[in-house]
């Protein structure tokens, strides 16, 4: 469980980066922020493309940035979108979370509500490295 101060810091980072989302097609800006075990925070926003398949979600931008920077372990990720209610990650992002941070807490953030789950709660019986004979 995260400390309140860490939760607020992570949510603020996700909301802040959401303002820089490139979402001209969906008009659905999303921001995400990852908290590493060493205390660093990495943020990402969704970046759309006219070739829709090339669009990348905020969660994956933040996760990949953290990994590229040498994040030793991901403790939590916050996802902030427009609207009052919490924003749940898509299936592709959930699969990446299973690979990179299966024990992380996921904060799904709306303007007025926040919902918390673990990656394992979001992806029960997930396909993971163990399925390939790798751990």
Residue 116: give its domain's CATH number. 3.40.140.10
SS (H, E, C) 14-79: HHHHHCCCECCCCCCCCEEEEEECCCCEEEEECECCCCHHHCECHHHHHHHHHHHCCCCCEEEEEE
Contact 63, 101 (CB under 8 A): yes
Q: What is the pTM of this model?
A: 0.94
Q: What is the pLDDT of residue 129?
A: 83
Residue-wise pLDDT tens digits, 26-74: 999 999 999 999 999 999 999 999 999 999 999 999 999 999 999 999 9
Q: Taking residues 75-101, what's their average pLDDT? A: 96
Structural domain for 28, as ranges: 4-132
Of 48, 59, 75, 105, which one is the catalytic site residue?
Answer: 59
59 a catalytic residue: yes
- Overall domain count for the chain: 1
Task: Indicate the SS3 state at residue 108.
Answer: strand
Q: What is the pLDDT of residue 43?
A: 98
């Amino acid at each position: 469980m995260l400390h309140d101060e860490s939760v607020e810091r992570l949510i603020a980072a996700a909301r802040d980066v959401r303002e820089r989302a490139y979402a001209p097609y969906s008009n659905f800006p999303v921001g995400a922020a990852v908290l590493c075990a060493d205390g660093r925070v990495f943020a990402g926003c969704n970046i759309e493309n006219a070739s829709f398949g090339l669009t990348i979600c905020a969660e994956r931008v933040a996760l990949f940035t953290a990994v590229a920077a040498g994040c030793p372990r991901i403790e939590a990720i916050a996802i902030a979108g427009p609207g009052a209610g919490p924003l749940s990650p898509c299936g592709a992002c959930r699969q990446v979370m299973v690979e990179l941070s299966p024990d992380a807490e996921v904060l799904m953030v709306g303007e007025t509500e926040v919902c918390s789950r673990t990656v394992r709660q979001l992806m029960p019986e997930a396909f993971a490295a163990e399925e390939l004979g790798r751990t």
